Structure 1
Amino acid sequence: MHKQPTHRQDSTAVTEGWETEHSLRALGDFFYRDAEPTAVRNPQWIAFNQSLAEQLNIPEKIRDTDEGLFIWAGNHTPDWAKPAALAYSGHQFAHLNPQLGDGRALLLAEVRSADGKLFDLQLKGAGRTPFSRGGDGRSAIGPVMREYLLSESMQALGVPTTRALAAVASGEMVFREDAVPGAIFTRVASSHIRVGSFQFALLHGGEDKVKALADYTIARHFSHLAKIDDSKTRYLGLLTQVAERQAELVNQWLRIGFIHGVMNTDNTSICGETIDYGPAAFLDSYNPNKVFSSIDRRGRYAFNQQIEIAKWNLARFAETLLPLITGDTAGETDKAEAIELATRVLDDYSEYANELWLTTMGAKLGIQHVTKADLALINQFLALLHQYNIDYTQAFWQLANELNCTQSANSGPESPTSSLFLNASAAANSDFQLWRQSWLERLISNDTSAEQMQTNMQQVNPAIIPRNHRIAEAILAVEENGDLTQFNALLNAWQHPYEMPRSESELALYQGPAKGEEVTRTFCGT
């Protein structure tokens, strides 16, 4: 890790001309509690995201500099920051906790990107807050590295996500099951408004607080809704917009084999970004029922449950908006109508999410004009992957390479994907060849060339993903030796997920885990 600075300076001068905002504070301290970060003993750089800093117009002197180190470590609160822990509730594994809040996170400020979009800057692991309860407010270095790697990989994969700006080692130990090195993470998000934020507003403040938060959310994320005069239509529109973004987000997860792991309502972003990567992981061999999180013992947040869980979370969001959708009279007829309207939005979500899934899977298979008639072909391929424990990412990437072999259903050499099934068994390869014939026959109806079909498939099917065992190896190297070599190699390699790696070291990232390397459980970062 980089050597720590020997001095620190006031950042007032270097931030002259750089404006930050604190728009959430206009809602009042009901939604947050002021709190100062707690300084750490010996901060050292782990990583800093220069390209993101440029997008956010962050002054150079508070990037990966001595001055920046003290700010992103929580050792110095600059004049442009007003640290606050946000309040929210949440259903955790379907059980409502009426008051959670940021127990180890502090919103520093809001900043505008070069294109004028507003983003939150948040420190994670910077010490206790009023919502910490019995926690220490700190982060272990492992979860910080995991979130940095995963959030930046998701960005490269084209999935809406919070971003990593900085990671700083604290030079102190934190105590979980064992003593492990600590770290501080700086997260960038379009906002940190969650379904749980609305639940908190309703539970503790009633309709007025829900309305204040809804109006703020509309102004910040869905400004076109503010032009709607009818309040019932406007707030129903908010529910519709959030539902559409959730459907789109979850389908992106399914496209790349991502399992969030803890889809609680306090981890469901209103603006449709992937947030909180604690137990998150990617599929290796395909298993629709796969669960990694050590605390998800009943498979609530399994890979194939994510569309339905997002709907469940949206239902909780809808419940908070019902008083606004009902309107001013609030008679029994109005309440029944509001419930009916909200239910219709949830039903539309299901239809939209399932349509997106069909479109997504069709694109992964190179089918140009996918219809419900293609469901059997899609499900047959997935069933083969599951039955024979075939790697999800490799199977779809190699399937695109089939189109190098043949432009018809009846010619061409042995297919590249066959090796994956042959490694399983001769029967597996036989079953795959039967399916392959049907698939190639289906592609004949496309009106593009084989070369273009292959290009299209390679744009939606990554060659490399953040393999769980590679993340575990990188974390272990830092925890035991302070060695960031593998962390940096992974960070760089995973910025080009749709290109087949060529070097020997990069080719290793394409491979799934060998026997004994599999990561079977992941853990929350608290």
Structure 2
Amino acid sequence: MSGEIPVPQSRFRASRQVRGALWSWAVPTEQDSPKLAGVSSSGAQLLGLTRGDFWRDPSLAASVWSGNLRLPGSHPWAHCYGGHQFGVWADQLGDGRAISLGQVVTTSPPGLASPPGLAGPPGLWEVQLKGAGRTPYSRFADGYAVRRSSIREYLATEHMSALGVPTSRSLSLVFTDRVVEREEPELGAVVTRLAPSWVRFGSFELPASRGDFALLRRLADYVIHHHFPELAPLIAEREVYIRLLQATIERTAAMVAAWQAVGFCHGVMNTDNMSVLGLTIDYGPYAFLDAYDPDFICNHSDPAGRYAFREQPRVALWNLVRLAGPLSRLVGQDPEEDPTPETLDAVTKALNSFGSEFSRNYAELMRLKLGLSFEHDSDDMATIVQPFLDLLERGHTDYTFAMRALCDVPLLLTRKGAAGGMEQHIDALAARSDCSRRLDKEWRGDIRAFYEDAYGPRLAKQGVIDERSALALGAGMRLANPRHVLRNWVAQDIIDQADDDVAVIDQALELLTTHAFDDDDSVPEHLKDMAERYAGPVPKWGEGLQCSCSS
């Protein structure tokens, strides 16, 4: 990498403006009393390792994955990038507390949850420590991370992968005895996280903002060669940069569609938190929906709701426009000159494709969740999906619970005279809703009418007319509708328990990955109590929990 991207040779941690380079050497700060707190089995497998490789000597593993012990041949670095934060250009930002140890090449393809061809080249992983201390990009921060936010990111990445969402991954979690000053003093932690690349939209924005178009071109060519190899043969053609933009648009649309389908709210969709590979990165004040509320805001630091749940597709496109600016500069003969009308037309066409790409991906995912076959009724989104979501919004109904409960409805609809079963279903749905007494009876009637007058006839069109076909459809729907998601209250409960017993972290990880789609009777005995509680109603203390950007 050093032969392709220029880098200043200084190893100082002092914050500074870095020009003419996209990364700087960095050295992890020694951590106090590191202790191994978690290892992801699936994350380890991506590097050809096992959990046993870590737990065989947990003290050694903690030293390595806290940054205290340097891996042979490792020359750590921190990325330099800029970004728009809450819509405002913030100039140089960079990895203020993340330090990459190196790139690992394995013989197996990346196990990212993304469509074929969207995960980058086979087996390339950039291994990064988050919370490892100051870098040249720390500014006024200390470079550390606290246990609370580290547990949340460690669990979320692996959970999102299990849900089928394109995402970075986690390898390990290490606790330290360092006291980290935040609103209140907290103990520290280091997460080892993985991605084929940590290049962001802001990685392109910063050199373009400085007029360093030679560096910008080298970055774009590097990304194409290493992460979009299908475009590499076109590198001599300047239109390749439009193709790069188009590929990123398609990946971003697929990612955000998956967010909306599982009810995930990122919370900080700044351009420095957007992966050029279309991966979910930088898990901060994220949340999964409890009640279905399109206006839900998960970030306490976002009172205006710029990054509210319903705004995520719009913000993604806004961010892509910011990326399109730098890339369009590379198409013409002279990047110092404004793009030609032909270039602007090509860029506009690419950006205009985001809406249809998002809608197509979202419709496919929602059809799977509702058990709607693809060869029937192209207007399913308008006649089935959106009306159902509107009912959930009216009732303030638990989104994950409602989608999972829907898996039982095809069978209930085929059982003639089994009104009691349907009434029990609606009772359960109402119990996970927040209808006012005045609306409750009307809402129940509308749910029943939707099932009988819209959803049932639509399923009948695709041959769901008896118990056998309904059981088969319900089983397939359960593979698209998780029973467990990492709600804010669940994450907080795990964080609280981890103070006394770190084993709960990987127990929760097992539930949220291996058993995220399992009913209670399929969950191992040692997880049954946890599974039953975490699939239950939101406790009073957990209602309306929000996180801030502080971590």
With structure 1 as the length reference, what TM-score do the two structures score?
0.90
**Helix, strand or coil at the partner of 1:292:** coil
Q: Work out whether residues 86 and 306 of structure 2, in 8 Å CA contact, stay in contact via their aligned partners in 1.
A: yes
The alignment status of 1:459 with 2:479, answered yes or no, reads: yes
Distance 2:103 2:536 in 1: 40
2:485 counterpart letter in structure 1:
I
Judge conservation of contact 2:488–2:542 (CA < 8 Å) in 1. no
Using the TM superposition, name which of 489-498 and 125-134 deviates more: 489-498
Q: Which moved more, 1:48-57 or 1:81-90?
A: 48-57
Q: Is the 8 A contact 1:363 1:460 kept in 2?
A: yes
Q: Match for 2:449 among 421, 434, 440?
A: 434
Range with bigger deviation, 27-36 or 397-406? 397-406
Match for 1:483 among 501, 512, 515?
A: 501
How big is the shift at 1:412?
5.8
Deviation of 1:514 after TM superposition, in Å, equals 2.3
Is residue 389 from structure 1 mapped to residue 396 from structure 2 by the alignment?
yes
Consecutive unaligned residues of structure 1, counting only runs of 5 or more, are 1-22
Determine which of 163, 169, 179 is the counterpart of 2:185: 179
Q: Quote how far apart the aligned CAs of 1:371 are.
A: 1.4
Q: Does 1:221 align with 2:227?
A: yes
Q: 1:105 to 1:422 in 2, by over 3 A?
A: closer
The equivalences for 1:76-475 within 5 A come to: 76-115=69-108, 116-204=122-210, 206-228=212-234, 231-328=237-334, 335-369=340-374, 370-372=377-379, 374-407=381-414, 413-415=420-422, 417-423=425-431, 424=435, 425-437=440-452, 438-447=454-463, 449-475=469-495
**1:248, 1:356 within 8 Å by CA — same for their partners in 2?**
yes
Amino acid aligned to 1:384: L
Q: Which amino acid in structure 1 is aligned with residue 532 of structure 2?
A: L
Answer with 160-169 or 242-251: which moved more.
Answer: 160-169
Question: Are the structure 2 counterparts of residues 47 and 401 from structure 1 closer, same or farther at C-alpha, using a change threshold of 3 Å?
Answer: same
Q: Which residue is equivalent to 1:34?
A: 25
Q: Give the Cα separation in 1 of the matches to 2:93 and 2:381.
A: 44
SS at match of 2:175: strand
| 1:498 has 2:491 as partner | no
Structure 2: segments with no counterpart, 5+ residues: 8-20, 109-121, 522-527
Task: Work out whether residues 421 and 432 of structure 1, in 8 Å CA contact, stay in contact via their aligned partners in 2.
Answer: no
Structure 1 residue 50, shift from structure 2 partner: 3.9
Of 489, 510, 515, which aligns to 2:540?
Answer: 515
Q: Compared with structure 1, are the counterparts of its residues 405 and 61 closer, same or farther at alpha carbon in structure 2 (3 Å cutoff)?
A: closer
In structure 2, the residue corresponding to 1:97 is in which secondary structure? strand
The 1:331/1:34 distance shift into structure 2, 3 A limit, reads closer
Residue identity in the other structure for 1:86: H
- Identity of counterpart residues, as a percentage? 32
How far does the alpha carbon of each residue in 1:52-97 deviate from its partner, in whole angstroms, 9 at most, with x for none? 3233135999734233221111112232211111100010000111
Partner Cα separation in structure 1 for residue 33 and residue 152 of structure 2: 21
- Judging changes above 3 Å, is the alpha-carbon distance between structure 1 residues 60 and 508 closer, same or farther for their aligned structure 2 residues? closer
**How far does residue 414 in structure 1 lie from its aligned partner after superposition?**
3.2
Letter of the structure 1 residue corresponding to residue 519 of structure 2: M
- 3-state SS, counterpart of residue 414 of structure 1: helix
Evaluate the alpha carbon distance shift between residue 373 and residue 140 of structure 1 in structure 2; reply closer, same or farther with a 3 A threshold: closer
SS at match of 1:469: helix
Measure the CA separation in 2 of the matches of 1:411 and 1:454: 17
Residue pairs, 1:62-81, within 5 angstroms: 63-64=54-55, 65=57, 66-81=59-74
Q: Over residues 7-59 of structure 1, what are the superposed CA-to-partner deviations in whole Å (9 max), with x where a residue is unaligned?
A: xxxxxxxxxxxxxxxx2662111011111111012111111224432331359
Per-residue CA deviations over 1:352-411 (Å, capped at 9, x if unaligned) read 112222222222221113513541322211111111111001111111111222338997
Q: 1:434 to 1:517 in 2, by over 3 A?
A: same
Q: 2:265, 2:289 within 8 Å by CA — same for their partners in 1?
A: yes
What CA deviation, in whole Å up to 9, does each residue of 1:281-307 have, x standing for no partner? 100110001011011111111111111
My pick for the range that moved more, 56-65 or 137-146, is 56-65
Aligned length: 501
